[in-house]
Structure 1
Amino acid sequence: MTRTLQLAYTTFRPRPAVPGQDVLSPSVTRMRVHVGDLDLYRHVNNGTYLQMMDVGRSNFLADLGAFGLLNARGWYPVVAASTVKYRRSLTLGQRFELTTRLLGWDERVAYLEQAFTHAGHHVARGVVAGRFLGRDGSRVPAPEVIALLTGGSLDSPQLPEDVIAWARAVDVAAR
């Protein structure tokens, strides 16, 4: 519940936009592990990582000053698919950073990488395929969202091979 409240706060009272931030700039969210984040094994529950990633993506949009632009068009983000690879555990009280960056996009979705680090050590890496919907339920093509956020058109960087393979495997890649 704590991370759900944090997500609501970061979405409805976003932090100020970062001057000079663009869609390809990384966004860093600093957090601390709370007791509600833990599972019975006393480390962060795998589902909690996904909630933390929601917060990181909300801060990514806030850093771009995107909420006003998106709200004006009635667009909102949703997750089409996600995957996480865990390397180390996070435990109670540890401070960590979640770095969110846009890897690229196709006609359907935008691909983000979200990396967790603690004390300079890699903890976990998530990849998210996100899309935007209109209030009427319509799908908004990713290039339209990127154009809105950049003020013009921008070509997608080349996606990493592992992300391309994953997107095809989970059937989110543009056809």
Structure 2
Amino acid sequence: MYPFLRLATQVIRARRLPRLPLDGVHVSHHMCLPWDLDPFLELNNGRALTLYDLGRLPLAFRVGLVQALRDNRWGLTMAGACVRYRRRVRLFERIEMRSRALCWDGRFIYLEQSMWRRDGQCAGHILYRAAVTDTAGIVGTDRVLAALGHPGETRPIPDWVTKWIAAEEARPWPPMQD
């Protein structure tokens, strides 16, 4: 089941914090609970993606995106993700999550999130490609940035993100059925 109570707690905390610029970093803290575990008694890879939601959605509140979505009757979807798992997160271990909008192009905002253990090691890192949508499809980031009151200039896209974008463009769709 989706952790709605944990999400509500994170959103309430985030609403009390100052607003962030679009490229600001939202820091949140989470604990690996018994229902987050896999059979090896560590954070389940699927549940890790759900925990990233708990950092990403409060970030959206703090940068004003949620209000812009409401005002314009837009939706938000994740159009892709690339994740790395590097260190185990065990039962009752606390992690710090850092979430930010890394860069954007004409269609997508690329969100970067990482989980950090108390020993200073990065447990995981994810890059999301987020799209704002309306009834006509994807809303251009120029419109989204204007709704956020952002000047609209693009940020340089890091080389590793450019390579991931290229790899995604080369990936067949629909996938092969054989």
SS in 2 for 1:170: helix
CA contact (8 A) 2:11 2:61 kept: no
Distance, in Å, in 2 between the alignment partners of 1:14 and 1:171 is 38
Shift of 1:121: 1.5
- The CA deviation string for residues 25-73 of structure 1, in whole angstroms up to 9 with x for no partner, is 1011211101111100111111111111122110101122332222011
Q: Could you say which residue in structure 2 is the equivalent of 1:26?
A: 25
- Deviating above 6 A after TM superposition, structure 1's stretches of 4 or more consecutive aligned residues are none
CA distance in 2, matches of 1:12, 1:19: 13
Instruction: Render the CA deviation track for 1:62-111: whole Å, top value 9, x for unaligned.
Output: 12233222201111211000011111010110111110111110111000
Post-superposition CA distance 1:106-161 (Å, at most 9, x none): 11100011011011221111000000112x25211122212211x14321221111
Q: Which runs of 5+ in 2 are unaligned?
A: 171-178
Q: Give 1:22 deviation, angstroms.
A: 0.5
In 1, Cα distance between the equivalents of 2:67 and 2:75? 11
Query: Equivalent pairs: percent with the same residue?
Result: 27
TM-score normalized with structure 2 length = 0.85
Q: 2: distance between equivalents of 1:116 and 1:37?
A: 15
Cross-structure match for 2:131: 131
Residues 137 and 36 (structure 1 numbering): CA distance in 2 closer, same or farther, change over 3 Å?
Answer: farther
Bigger mean CA offset, 137-146 vs 92-101: 137-146
Q: Tell me, in whole angstroms, the C-alpha distance in 2 between the residues paired with 1:10 and 1:75.
A: 24
Alpha-carbon separation, structure 2, partners of 1:153 and 1:17: 25
Measured at CA, do residues 80 and 55 of structure 1 come closer, stay the same or move farther in structure 2, by a change above 3 Å?
same
The within-5 A match list for 1:92-171 is: 92-119=91-118, 120-134=120-134, 136=135, 138-149=137-148, 151-171=149-169
| Count of paired positions | 169
Kindly indicate whether the alpha-carbon contact (under 8 Å) linking 1:10 and 1:59 is maintained by their aligned counterparts in 2. Answer: no
Partner in structure 1 of residue 6 of structure 2: 6
- AA paired with 1:165? K
Amino acid at match of 2:29: R
Bigger Rg, which one = 2
Mind listing any 5+ residue stretches in structure 1 that lack a counterpart? none
SS of 2:88's partner is coil
**Partner AA of 1:30 in structure 2:** H
